[in-house]
Chain A
Amino acid sequence: MKNRAVPIFVVPFGALFIAFYLVPIGYAIVQSLYKVERSGTFGPVREVFGGLDQYQRVFQDGPFWASLGRVAAFGVVQVPVMLGVALILALLLDSGLVKGRRFFRLAFFVPYAIPGVIAAIMWGFLYSPNLSPLKPVTGAIDFLSADLVLWSMANVVTWVYVGYNMLIIYSALLAVPTEVYEAARMDGAGQFRIAWSIKIPLVLPAIVLTTVFSIIGTLQLLAEPQVFRSFSSAVTSTYTPNLTVYSTSSIPNFNLAAAFSVVLALTTFVLSFAFLRATQRRSAEQ
């Protein structure tokens, strides 16, 4: 009887989810199975079924795999650094050693309000050899060179997201009842010991959540490299997987771009799902 209301609650979201999530995924898969054929040099163009032809091209596409390798290197370094800093700051805020907790919490969180595009534009100026307030540094080190530009972008992403991740972990710490620490303190455990043996294990679910979001975010890297193309010639049109999708679709070669999209989405899904599974299994064993 009361379940009669369920469609009213579920259908509006469900319909949009189907139209703008499931249908596009299906459509991308269909598109990726087609190819464009031209009869003769100037003949008419038509779309024909190509099977897995586009995927064959994807797997032979050197720049695409190089870009995946690039974001993988980025993720392996940037994600642990960012989450490590976020965790340390959250533990420090929670340690009772900090005066003015409210201020610091806000100060660290503010960059999250700045969209990736704007943050990248700001840092692009800050890195530039002649406009930067850190001229002695940017004059000596070229942050926009081919060797460094990836890590310069890593700094932009870190700057935006540390405070956000810190807040997630800090919120989880606040949710832990203080009695849990009392006993350890009675036994003579120091701050460091309490943080390591009690607090970190308790906030592990929050850390897992932030890691998954960071993995997804890293594989999708787009705004920062796209903006940095104006600042540095080292950032090519295939610098990250998503840039490859974008530049392939502007050729335009929609079928190949769709295949890139599908491979990227699948990679992201499998990686984040595998990470979730692995961590869940570990916590189940404990």
Chain B
Amino acid sequence: MKSRVGVMAVMGLCTIYFLAPIWWLFVGATKNNDQFTGTAPMWFADFHLVDNIRELVTYRDGVFLRWMLNSIAYTGGAALLGTVLAAMCGYALAKYRFRGRELLFNIVLSGVLVPATALALPLFLIFSKAGAANTFWAVFLPSLVNPFGVYLARIYAAASVPEELLEAARIDGSGEVRTFFTVSSRLMFPALVTIFLFHFVAVWNNFLLPLIMLSDERLFPVTLGLYTWNTQVNQVPELRGLVIVGALLSITPLVVAFLLLQRFWRNGLGAGAVK
């Protein structure tokens, strides 16, 4: 009994540590600038959230909304397409015997250990040479590549797609590619959601690539946009309120998506880690 009380106390303290900063951000986003500095930080003053959001989305012709849309396009698009590509490659590595298979797998696996930030600078130089550095594609295309996704897809495909089923599909005259999209990918679906989530977070968090690549603020993802505002807070104090509200709005969709998709995290992570 005593140990249960102790354990629950630890859980409670940890909950405060993990959630209090988010609570603080939410409360802060509901205040105007005077209240932000003048009232108790962890509790509401007058509720200005709607006004604050209106100010944020109209500031400088709604550049914040544009950043949000950019983030969704970079991250959602790259993760969706990248997951399909990684799944196909991992599936082939698991289900076919072909020359160079092990070599290919080892090269891709080494790719997992190469830090993505080491690629940002040479990518910038290459894209500059091609005259394409400050474009949407300069951030989008490199974000498609996810070697860890290939690694996971290979494990999942080996575990969840039975050989007999593929043989049966072949006897029925279904082509290999069609079998992948109609049968195998369905069996791998929970795993694919996990790969998608991993990829999504990796692109969403990649800061160096857009920082080096982009100079036109209309192409910024929301993280880079809020970062540039935050660097100007000392000169333009009213930006502080916008940074707080913007931070809250920028994390809300991801937090909600995480909570909804949480069971995929658990299942998928288990399969990846037990290997």
Contacts and interface: CB of A to CB of B under 8 A. Distances in A.
Contacts of B11: 92, 98, 104
A58 to B, nearest CB: 14
Interface in A154-170: 159, 162-163, 167-170
Interface string A253-264: 010011001101
Contacts of A159: 17-18, 21
Interface stretch (A36-44, A115-123, A143-151): A115-123
Contacts of B126: 23-24, 27
A180 interface: no
Contact of B145 (A2, A17, A114): A17
A6 B97 CA distance: 9
B150 to A, nearest CB: 7
Interface of B, secondary structure class, is: helix
Interface stretch (A49-57, A72-80, A215-223): A215-223
A89 B15 CA distance: 11
Given A172-B274, A206-B273, A31 B207 contact: no
A198 B180 CA distance: 40
A167 B269 CA distance: 8
B227 interface: yes
B205 A115 contact: yes
B110 A269 contact: yes
B25 A122 contact: yes
A68 interface: no
Given A16-B145, A95-B7, A223-B205, A117 B227 contact: yes
A8 interface: yes
Interface in A95-128: 95, 97-99, 104-118, 121-126
B60 interface: no
Interface string A1-28: 0111110111011101101110111011
B42 A133 contact: yes
Nearest to A92: B7
B121 interface: yes
Contacts of A131: 36-37, 41
Contacts of A126: 21, 24
Interface string B86-119: 1011011100111000001000101101111111
A254 B125 contact: yes
Contacts of A245: 117, 121
A191 B257 CA distance: 35
Interface residues of B, number: 95
B233 interface: yes
A20 B144 contact: yes
- Interface range on chain A (Cβ under 8 Å from partner): 35 or more
B124 A25 contact: no
Nearest to A107: B15
A220 to B, nearest CB: 5
A76 B131 CA distance: 42
A249 interface: yes
Interface in B163-208: 170, 175-177, 180, 201, 204-205, 207-208
A171 interface: yes
Contacts of B41: 131-133
Given A20-B123, A21-B114, A222-B207, A174 B270 contact: yes
Nearest to B86: A13
A2 B176 contact: yes
Contacts of B98: 3, 6
Contacts of A175: 270, 274
A20 B116 CA distance: 10
A168 B273 contact: yes
Given A20-B144, A107-B15, A159-B21, 5 more contacts: A89-B14, A110-B18, A118-B250, A122-B247, A249-B212
